[in-house]
Amino acid sequence: MNARDDIKILLLKNHMTMTQLASKMAVLLNKKMSQSNLSHKLTKESLRYDELSAICEILGYDLEYKKRT
């Protein structure tokens, strides 16, 4: 599984479309973000940290670094 698949699952769980997510990201990041742009970034695995952080914020999740045991 990759980030694109994970995000699609989270979108389904939150009853949100990729278009809605891209629109909310554009507002949060104060930059242009379309559904096709977001989809391309996910497919090419070129999502930046601030973009992933915005996705988590919008969907209500936290990014967490956890030490493996």
What is the per-residue pLDDT across 4-57, written as a single tens digit (0 to 9) for each?
Answer: 999 999 999 999 999 999 999 999 999 999 999 999 999 999 999 999 999 999
Task: Tell me if 65 is assigned to some domain.
Answer: no
| C-alpha–C-alpha distance, residues 66 and 19, integer Å | 31
| C-alpha–C-alpha distance, residues 10 and 7, integer Å | 5
pLDDT greater than 80 at residue 1: no
Task: Tell me if 13 is assigned to some domain.
Answer: yes
| C-alpha–C-alpha distance, residues 3 and 34, integer Å | 18
Task: Tell me if 52 is assigned to some domain.
Answer: yes
Task: Tell me if 68 is assigned to some domain.
Answer: no
Domain with 32, as residue range(s), is 3-59
Task: Tell me if 8 is assigned to some domain.
Answer: yes
Task: Tell me if 66 is assigned to some domain.
Answer: no
Number of domains in the chain: 1
